[in-house]
Chains A and B, each alone.
Chain A
Amino acid sequence: MKKDIILAGVGGQGILSIATVIGQAALAEGWYLKQAEVHGMSQRGGEVQSHLRISTEPIWSDLIPQGKADIILSLEPLEALRYVPWLAPEGCVVTSSVPFRNIDNYPDIDQVYAAVKACPKHILIDTDALVKEINAPVQAANMVLLGAAIPMLGIEPEIMKTALQKVFARKSEAIVETNIRALMAGYEYACKNL
């Protein structure tokens, strides 16, 4: 088992929390892990990405070679497209459909969606609508997205839930509960729409 995942989004959206939960799950499974993060200047409202690799075998590189990523997991549709050159031919794009417009030249959103849909495997998910549906704050969008990636990750939902609990343990019980609801809402959406 080996999964190469590119996490993408805009600084402050919470992609590193996604990585932490997957990392915790991988640790619980006894897998190897490498995760390259971006800190510093690029976090200030700019594009951010993280290469996350989990495997039952030792991993060499911290960076995923182009054309090898199993999943692009993005909190923003334009940011998802940025990493398509890394996607394996059989790889899947899982992205929020909610645009983050902090640049003047943001392209036409329908063109963005069309490009996502041109990827052989994709899940385009309205995370804003989904968090509203389950009465969760917008900050839970990252866990919705993680939930939607569960079928592709080869990690059981129960293990992911436990990992999430562990990562959010020092926060309140209500926050843990909200995030688990978000995770499962994303999971169910993916199961229905894959």
Chain B
Amino acid sequence: MKHILLGDEAIAQAAIDSGLSGVYAYPGTPSTEITEYIQLHESKTPAGIFCQWATNEKTAMEAALGLTYAGKRALVRMKHVGMNVCADAFVNSAITGVNGGLVVVAADDPSMHSSQNEQDSRFYAKFALIPCFEPSNQQEAYDMTRQAFDLSEQLRVPVLMRVTTRMAHSRAMVNTTDAPRPQNNRSLPENTQHFILLPAFAKRNYADLLAQQPEFIRLSEECGNNTYTRGTNPKRAIVTCGIAHNYMQEAGIAQGASILKITQYPLPVALINQMVADGAEEILVAEEGQPVVEELLRGLVPSTVKLKGRLTGDLPRMGELSPDCFAQSEIRNQKLEINTVVLPGRPPSMCQGCGHRDMYTALNEVAREYNEARIFGDIGCYTLGALSPFHAIHACVEMGASITMAKGAADAGQYPSIAVIGDSTFTHSGMTGLLDCANCNADVVVLISDNLTTGMTGGQDSAGTGKLERICMAMGIPEEHVRVVVPLAKNMEEMKAVIREEINYHGTSVVIARRECIQTLKRKARK
């Protein structure tokens, strides 16, 4: 069957067609649509698929490992920085190995369209010593996801699928199978010690994983996903990884060069050796993200071979690639240069009528009453409070850091020290930080801007909805310092009074500003 699918949707459909039993994930751009697609389609499968949202990437990864322990096939997906959150479980899942197929999808975001960094998830595959796929188009995304499940079961290790924003969020025609595979039956592992990472057992498991490495390389060389084509001028060679292949072809710079197209890792050493044996004197490495392959090649090709890529400045060191990165100057010169107007940027902003806006208005007014109030922000729509007109936050680093950074600053004597965090981010990674605050009664105000959803990624369920007060009290915050306000203009004076009172209280307090996200509200009204 032919469909127009996003790269994300192609991966999701492939997982369904591979006999998936569960998808575990926390929303994160550009990978959210994988879970959403499965949620939309799982009811059409004979056995159904577990597809509820997880609280964070670590709980997702661990639950998926448990599902595969029971012999079934699991998919975990996340944005690249989610890999950091689940890294402990991810890296150790390579040591335990898997019983059913386990595929981890990491969606990287070069150019930081919706992220705080452009880390390259291929490092994680190398770090964990497992195979990694990097499809170059939507059809490959579909086909390789199915291969990845089979390979994971065959090798009994998790397999990483690395995509980038342009693959995840670009549509193309995809041919899908008419014969989906049924789900695995439940079956417990024969060797239970493999899942017990006591040092004595872990040493054995790690040795097993190391012993598998030559096999992983052999598969990369022989699987057909990595192709080497000797050019008419093999002195020039181009190594392309994933979608960089398309940009290189679009720019038309191959011109007789040998081409090594890589979509499966570890690197196919034999194909690289062949490229060198064919006389490659200059190798251009085109890869999306960080110069992972360029660095690795330095150890694989003779020093007389000239390597060109992101490290050497032949391609930009940061940002996503495009055909223009490869294009010759004459193509660039054809551009129209007619704009006579200076074009102002149009940054994203919080929606008109959003509760975060009223929350920031109140918070800003109270904060100005103090000499040097510092507000530590977090990840979500409310991060936009950093921009005009609010200029409200002084930090935003990663999920949950608002609370713990505010605590650390308070430990140093900062007062007032205020954290602003969304409800979903709070349950993702803020709760443990609040426990740290409560245990030493840190002089911190934690303002939870509760819009009852995971807003920035499009309104997914939020794990703590209806439970926030009880969670905060259970962490040890006194009931009288867990305050709830409704962020509306008409409540401005009350909100300010509550925030002021809690700043003046020298201990840990929580103010929950609760009003439903107007986007999810609108969507409900339409139904």
B249 touches A41 (CB 8 A): no
1/0 per residue A31-64: CB within 8 Å of B? 0111111111111111100000000000111111
> In the complex the two chains form, is A111's CB within 8 Å of B340's CB?
yes
- In the complex, B46 has a CB within 8 A of chain A: no
Taking a contact as CB atoms closer than 8 A, the residue among A63, A108, A111 that contacts B322 in the complex is A63
Cβ contacts under 8 Å, B460 to chain A: none
Q: How far is the CB of A105 from chain B (nearest CB, A)?
A: 4
Interface: B339 (CB within 8 A)? yes
Are A41 and B346 in touch, CB under 8 angstroms?
A: no
Q: CA–CA, A82 to B6, complex, Å?
A: 25
Q: Are B338 and A118 in contact (CB under 8 A)?
A: yes
A79 within 8 A of B: yes
Kindly state whether residue B395 has any CB partner on chain A within 8 Å.
no
CA gap between A37 and B341 in the complex, in Å: 26
- A84-92, A130-138, A150-158, A183-191 - interface stretch: A84-92
- Taking a contact as CB atoms under 8 Å apart, the answer to whether A102 and B346 are in contact is yes
Q: Which residues of B contact A60 (CB under 8 A)?
A: 246-247, 249-250
- Known contacts: A34-B170, A39-B29, A40-B457. The answer to whether A66 contacts B332 by CB under 8 A is yes
Please tell me which one of the listed residues B170, B171, B332 contacts residue A67 in the complex, with CB atoms under 8 A apart: B332
**A140 lies within 8 A of chain B by Cβ:** no
- In the assembled complex, the Cα of A10 lies from the Cα of B349 at a distance in Å of 11
Choose among A37, A40, A61, A119 the residue that contacts B338 (Cβ–Cβ < 8 A): A119
Q: Does A44 contact B339, Cβ atoms closer than 8 Å?
A: no
Contact yes or no, B339 A105, CB < 8 A: no
Q: Is the CB of B331 within 8 A of A65?
A: yes
A44-B384 contact, Cβ under 8 Å, with A60-B250, A78-B343, A84-B339:
yes
CA distance A47 to B344 in the complex (A): 11
Residues of A within 8 A of B32 (CB): 39
> Which of B29, B324, B388 touches A65 (beta carbons < 8 Å)?
B324
Bound Cα distance from A51 to B456, whole angstroms: 23
| Residues of the A chain whose Cβ atoms lie less than 8 Å from the Cβ of B30 | 39-40
State which of A33, A42, A63 has its C-beta within 8 Å of the C-beta of B166.
A63
Q: Would you call A115 and B340 a contact (CB within 8 A)? A: yes
Indicate if A1 sits at the interface (CB-CB under 8 A): no
Task: Tell me if A85 and B341 are in contact (CB < 8 A).
Answer: no
Complex: A43 Cα to B457 Cα, angstroms: 10
Q: Could you tell me if B250 and A89 are in contact, using CB atoms closer than 8 angstroms? A: no
Interface positions of B from 330 to 361, Cβ below 8 Å from A: 331-332, 334-351
A153 to chain B, nearest CB (A): 17
Tell me the chain A residues, 159-188 only, with Cβ under 8 Å from chain B.
none
User: Is B497 an interface residue when CB atoms closer than 8 A count as contact?
Assistant: no
Q: Is B203 in contact with chain A by the CB < 8 A criterion?
A: no
Q: Report the minimal beta-carbon distance from A69 to chain B, rounded to whole angstroms.
A: 10
**Chain B contact residues (Cβ within 8 angstroms of A): what range?**
35 or more
B243 contacts A by Cβ under 8 Å: yes
Looking at A40, A81, A105, the one whose CB has the most chain B CB atoms below 10 A away is: A40
Interchain CB contact under 8 A, A46 and B341: no
* Complex CA distance for A47 and B113, rounded to whole angstroms: 12
Q: Which residue of B lies closest to A120 (CB)?
A: B336
How close is A52's CB to chain B, nearest CB, in angstroms?
A: 9
Interface of B is mostly: loop
The verdict on B475 contacting chain A, using a C-beta distance below 8 Å, is no
Number of A-B contacts (CB under 8 A): 151
Q: Which residue of B lies closest to A91 (CB)?
A: B336
Q: Is the CB of A103 within 8 A of B346?
A: yes
Complex alpha-carbon distance, A176 and B318, angstroms:
45
- The answer to whether B431 has its CB under 8 Å from any CB of chain A is no
Q: What residue in chain B is nearest A34 (Cβ atoms)?
A: B172
Q: How far is the CA of A82 from the CA of B338 in the complex (A)?
A: 11
User: In the assembly, what is the distance between CA of A103 and CA of B343, in Å?
Assistant: 11
Q: Tell me whether A41 and B323 are in contact in the complex, defined as CB-CB below 8 angstroms, given that A60-B246, A61-B247 are known contacts.
A: no
Of residues 1 through 49 on chain A, the ones whose CB sits less than 8 Å from some CB of chain B are: 10-11, 23-24, 27, 32-47
CA distance A94 to B247 in the complex (A): 27
Q: Is there a chain B Cβ closer than 8 Å to A114's Cβ?
A: yes
Q: Say yes or no: is B86 at the interface (Cβ < 8 Å to chain A).
A: no
A42 adjacent to B348 (CB under 8 Å): yes
Interface centre among B167, B246, B381, by most A CB within 10 Å? B246
Task: Give min CB distance, A97 to chain B, whole Å.
Answer: 15
Q: Using Cβ atoms and an 8 Å threshold, which residues of chain B touch A47?
A: 345-346
Contacts of B246 in A (CB 8 A): 60-62
**B297: Cβ under 8 A from any A Cβ:** no
Are B344 and A106 in touch, CB under 8 angstroms? yes
B157-181 interface bits toward A, Cβ cutoff 8 Å, 1 = contact, 0 = none: 0000000001101111100000000
Please give, as numbers and ranges, the residues of chain B lying within 8 Å of A98 by CB-CB distance.
none
Query: Chain B contacts of A61 at CB under 8 A?
Result: 246-247, 249-250, 322-323
**Docked-complex contact B324 and A34, CB < 8 angstroms:** no
In the complex, which residues of chain B have a beta carbon less than 8 angstroms from the beta carbon of A41?
Answer: 29, 113-114, 348, 456
Task: Report whether A63 and B247 are in contact in the complex, using a CB–CB cutoff of 8 Å.
Answer: yes
A65 surroundings in chain B (CB, below 8 A):
250-251, 322-324, 327, 331
Q: Which chain A residue lies CB-closest to B28?
A: A40
Cβ of B440 within 8 Å of any chain A Cβ, yes or no, is no
Determine the distance from Cα of A78 to Cα of B172 in the docked complex, in whole angstroms.
29
C-alpha spacing A62/B343, complex, angstroms: 25
Whether B4 sits at the interface, judged by CB under 8 Å, is: yes
Known A46-B348, A67-B336, A111-B341; further 6 A-B contacts with Cβ < 8 A: A38-B113, A44-B384, A46-B347, A60-B247, A62-B172, A63-B166
Q: List 12 A-B contacts (CB under 8 A).
A: A27-B2, A32-B173, A37-B169, A40-B29, A41-B29, A44-B381, A47-B346, A60-B246, A60-B249, A65-B323, A102-B346, A107-B341
The 9 closest A-B pairs by CB, nearest first: A40-B29, A46-B348, A40-B114, A61-B250, A44-B348, A65-B323, A41-B114, A62-B170, A36-B170
> Which chain A residues have a beta carbon within 8 Å of chain B's beta carbons?
10-11, 23-24, 27, 32-47, 59-67, 78-79, 81-82, 84-85, 87-89, 102-108, 111-112, 114-115, 118-119
